[in-house]
Structure 1
Amino acid sequence: MNTKNDVEVIINGKQYTLSGYESSEYLQKIANHINDKIAEFKEQDGYLRLDTEMKNILLAINLSDEYYKALKDSNDIKKENEEMEKEIFDIKHEMLTMQSELDKANEQIKKLAEERQAAKDQVIRLETELGRNKHR
């Protein structure tokens, strides 16, 4: 079982302890992401005039928006991957079918070549026989 990690982080200038089964680096990355979002908001006019609750709601809305957009992108990629896998399967099936048809065609070519050679041999025999009959 994974061990629980406690990591001291600073979010918006205040120290917090994040706990989780993820790595310390991951938990720090989460804190950095939140700090980056807060820094983005601080650049917007009017953000600093909002009360703390509204700032927290704004942060929660934006993080949720990012989450659901990433989830949609992930689902879109999964769907596209499934479609590509089906297309690859269909192409492989088509290739096998074509290979089978090619093998049959090659067998037929070989058979026709043998028949052609047999016909040539027969023509030579008949011409030879005809030549003998003319000389008699």
Structure 2
Amino acid sequence: MAMKNAVEVVVDGRVYKISGYESQEYMHQIAVYINEKMTQCHNTENYRKQSSDQRQLMLSMNLADDYFKAKNQAERLTAELEKKERELYSVRHDLIEAQLEIENLKKEKKAGSGQNNRRNEQHEGKQNNAVNAANNGNQKNGNNTQR
């Protein structure tokens, strides 16, 4: 288990010794934030006219307001991030499909060109056979005429 850290902070002009599992720097940041909120409240005329309990309630309400605004923003950003991740997933999926299609087309083209080469070879073979047959026929005719 983590050890507690103890630190002295000044809040509203008073020194408090507090402890917690967070770092001392973090606890100082919290104290600074509270002091800033208290200063904002003290600078409003109505706040100064209120009783101590009312001022404490107003400060608490302001802190809660900041918390809920930050929480709502975090939720909105999380929802936006999830939407972007879904869009990115869809784009990646489309990209993979396109890559597979390209690979299939390359294979088909390669297979097709192999068939074309075989067809060309067969065609050339038939032409060569025809030429050879014609030459053989000419040679036979030529040989017959020489006799």
The TM-score with structure 1 as length reference comes to 0.84
The percent of aligned pairs where both chains have the same amino acid is 27
1:129 Cα deviation after fit: 3.1
1:98 Cα deviation after fit: 2.4
**Counterpart mapping for 1:13-24 below 5 A:** 13-24=13-24
C-alpha distance in structure 1 between counterparts of 2:101 and 2:80, whole Å:
31
**Counterpart mapping for 1:1-136 below 5 A:** 1-135=1-135, 136=138
Kindly name which structure, 1 or 2, has the bigger radius of gyration based on alpha carbons.
Answer: 2
Q: Deviations over 1:79-128 (max 9, x none)?
A: 22323333333333333322222222111100111111122222322333
Query: Please, which moves more after superposition, 61-70 or 71-80?
Result: 71-80
C-alpha distance in structure 2 between counterparts of 1:82 and 1:41, whole Å:
37
The TM-score with structure 2 as length reference comes to 0.79
1:134 Cα deviation after fit: 4.4
* Code of the aligned partner of 1:55: R
Query: Please, which moves more after superposition, 93-102 or 6-15?
Result: 93-102
Number of matched pairs: 136
Aligned-residue CA RMSD (Å): 2.0
1:133 Cα deviation after fit: 4.2
Structure 1 segments of 4+ aligned residues over 6 angstroms from their partners: none
